[in-house]
């Protein structure tokens, strides 16, 4: 079992010193650190840290906000960690410690809440779309061509012009013209 540390600060004005000191004191064999916003999904050092995790290893962070910006992001990272057979431990957020049954339970409950929230959002979105449809609102992107332009496309086709030629005339793509019936 290896303890692998991960430290992150958001801006170049911040320093990693305190986090690195805490991770070394916790016994981390190797530490991955970077200066990058947590909003970035592709954080090279985090990706490297996750890739080095093996069965029984523990990824150690000083605080969860150094690892993830949202519950969904945290749960995705924990899933990746556990897929490798490893665990997660936060030094400050003691409840976020998948090396203990309590920490595993809390993260499982958070995962269930996130899943519930996603299903509520999907349900509300579907209801909103249905209400808009019943009210006669057109959903989706506005049409590229007006009804007058669509009629012109049909007329030009009858006159023998091909879709590419018509598209050039109207300043739209050939596929936009080809969808008009």
Active site residue 10: yes
Q: Could you identify the residue written with the tokens 């080095």?
A: 52
Q: How far apart are CA 61 and CA 82, in angstroms?
A: 16
Q: Which of 10, 33, 48, 178 is catalytic?
A: 10
107, 96 contact by CB (below 8 A)? yes
29, 57 contact by CB (below 8 A)? no
- Host H or E run for residue 45: helix 44-52
Q: How far apart are CA 168 and CA 55, in angstroms?
A: 60
Two structure tokens written together for 112: 């269930």
Two structure tokens written together for 179: 């969808």
Q: How far apart are CA 112 and CA 70, in angstroms?
A: 14
β partners of residue 34: 8
Per-residue burial over 30-50, b if 16 or more Cβ lie within 10 Å, else e, is: ebbbbeeebeeeebebbeebb
Task: Indicate which residues carry an active-site annotation.
Answer: 10
């Amino acid at each position: 079992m290896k303890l692998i540390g991960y430290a992150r600060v958001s801006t170049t004005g911040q320093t990693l010193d305190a986090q690195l000191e805490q991770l070394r004191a916790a016994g981390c064999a190797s530490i991955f650190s970077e200066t990058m916003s947590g909003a970035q999904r592709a954080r090279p050092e985090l990706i490297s840290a996750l890739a080095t995790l093996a069965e029984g290893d523990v990824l150690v962070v000083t605080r969860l906000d150094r690892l993830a910006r949202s519950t969904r992001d945290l749960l995705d990272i924990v899933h990746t960690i556990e897929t490798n057979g490893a665990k997660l431990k936060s030094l400050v957020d003691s409840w976020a410690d998948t090396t203990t049954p309590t920490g595993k339970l809390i993260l499982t409950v958070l995962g269930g809440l996130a899943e519930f929230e996603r299903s509520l959002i999907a349900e509300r979105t579907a209801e909103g779309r249905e209400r808009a449809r019943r009210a006669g609102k057109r959903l989706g992107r506005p049409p590229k061509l007006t009804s007058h332009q669509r009629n012109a496309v049909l007329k030009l086709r009858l006159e023998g012009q091909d879709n590419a030629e018509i598209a050039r005339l109207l300043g739209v793509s050939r596929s936009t013209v080809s969808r008009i019936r």
